[in-house]
Amino acid sequence: MYGGDEVSAIVIDVGSYSCKAGYAGDDTPKAVFPSVVGSIEQTGETDEAKADKEAEAASDSKNGAKPMDVDKAKTKRKLYVGQELEFRRDHMEVISPMKDGTVTDWDIVDNIWNHAFRAAELMFEKYKVPALFLAKNAVLTSFASGRATSLVVDSGGGSTVVAAVHDGYVLQKSVATSPIGGEFLTDCMMKSLESKGVVIRPRYSFKKKEVGPGEYKVVDLDLPNTTESYKLYCMRAIASDIKESVCRVPDTAFDEVAYANVPTTSYELPDGQTIEVGADRFKIPDILFNPSLSQTIPGVDGFADSMSVRGLPRMVIDSVNRCDVDIRKELLSSILLKERLEKEVLEESSGNTRVKVLASGNSVERRFSVWIGGSILASLGSFQQMWFSKAEYEEHGVSYIQRKCP
């Protein structure tokens, strides 16, 4: 979003797991927070809601803007975004505005964007920006790597997408998707631990009581009004940290017998209990390459059409084969992801094809590649001619954005 000649553009990347926001030209986003929100249904107008409404009305009367918290006016629900989710509240549900990488609740996204603007300390009169530009994730990841043509493998929270980018444009026919992403792997970790008798206690659900010098006892707290969705959200956060701390993609395809006696890795849970994670630390990330492994984990729900869920190597080959023959070799030599993929794609493709997988050694760059690409693009001098302006919107309507932002 554009803020005038003397103000940097704001770059916002709303993902299925987290939202990143910051200024164009910066190396990393200024704010990173969950894409989910906490929601409490309001049966009547509370004192807090009245105070918020009065404050907003006073602000809106000054700048001429209409109130934007449609949730309070229409559905009477109060939303909690970002760090507000860290505090347990009675009857608070945790909901996501996205499903399979697609926005399904724009009211929630509206509140997330509002939070992002406040984090950036720039409001532009509550979204009255003079211009904006929408860019596809694959294009921005390609820009972040300094390439105009590449095959982008983007494994996010809710899904994995493989897309070919040629001369700065996504080839739509090449896009291949899978419902397997980071959140699915987190669920697999939770189910696997549960099957082994491990109990994950959310941080809010207990307190530690000292019973002796350096000796503590865990006391469960009685919080009956805590919703199941908030409890699950907190448990998933812990399981996600376990996954990120101990898991790694195996160098070769996972085999139950071969990995049966691998050394375990310790992890201390918030309540003090220490667990040992063995073969699962290789098995769970390998689900990205071999989705059928998820069916061997007790309690994991299968996919409606498991035959259509492909592993990364097959997705890459299918995506490349949908492109023109002339550019296939170039795409296979510019795959943006990780090491093991190179070996398996080479095995799937013809033997005389050169396959090269490119991945930044910097974990921050890998995590924020889409946002960094947007930061680079919006800071270019030539980009100033690409904005979709408010005047163009008023003259041509919203459909014109498809021409300005292909």
Choice between 90 and 126, residue whose per-residue pLDDT is larger: 90
Judge whether residue 404 has pLDDT over 60: yes
> How much is the pLDDT for 98?
78
Average pLDDT over residues 42-53: 55
Residue-wise pLDDT tens digits, 371-395: 988 888 888 878 878 887 778 877 8
Average the pLDDT over 96-124 and give the result: 64
Angle subtended at Cα 93 by Cα 92 and Cα 97, rounded to the nearest 5 degrees: 135
Cα–Cα distances (Å) from 228 to 5, 86, 101, 312, in that order, read 48, 15, 23, 33
Please state, as a whole number, how many other Cβ atoms lie within 10 Å of the Cβ of residue 284: 27
User: Tokens at residue 13, please?
Assistant: 């990347």
pLDDT at 63 over 50: no
State the chain's mean pLDDT as an integer: 80
pLDDT of residue 188: 94
From residue 243, how far is each of 16, 22, 78 by CA, in Å? 18, 28, 32
Beta strands in 251-364 (DSSP E): 265-268, 274-277, 335-336, 357-358
Q: For the stretch 195-220, what's the b/e string if a residue is b when 16 or more beta carbons lie within 10 angstroms of its beta carbon?
A: eeebebbbebbbeeeeeeeeeeeeee
Which pLDDT does position 336 carry in this prediction?
Answer: 77
Give the best-scoring range by mean pLDDT among 49-58, 76-85, 215-224.
215-224
Tell me which CATH code domain 138-179+310-365 carries.
3.30.420.40
pLDDT in tens, 211-251: 888 788 889 999 999 999 999 999 999 999 999 999 998 88
Residues 143-150 have a mean pLDDT of 87
pLDDT at residue number 237? 93
**Residue 358: predicted pLDDT:** 72
Amino acid (one-letter) located at 263:
P
Report which of 309, 381, 370 is spatially closest to residue 142, judged by C-alpha positions.
370
The answer to whether the CB of 264 falls within 8 A of the CB of 277 is yes
pLDDT reported for residue 193: 95
Partners of residue 154 on adjacent β-strands: 161
Taking the domains of the chain in order of start, what are their residue ranges? 138-179+310-365, 182-202+225-296
Report d(CA 200, CA 227) in Å as an integer.
16
Query: pLDDT category, 15, cuts 50, 70, 90?
Result: confident
Q: Which residue in 312, 376, 371, 310 sits closest to 338, CA to CA?
A: 312
Quick: pLDDT tens for 296-333. 999 887 665 555 788 998 999 999 999 999 999 888 88
Number of other residues whose CB lies within 10 A of the CB of residue 106: 10
Looking at domain 182-202+225-296, its CATH class is alpha beta
Closest by CA position to 287, among listed 304, 276, 300 = 300
- Tokens found for residue 149: 């043509």
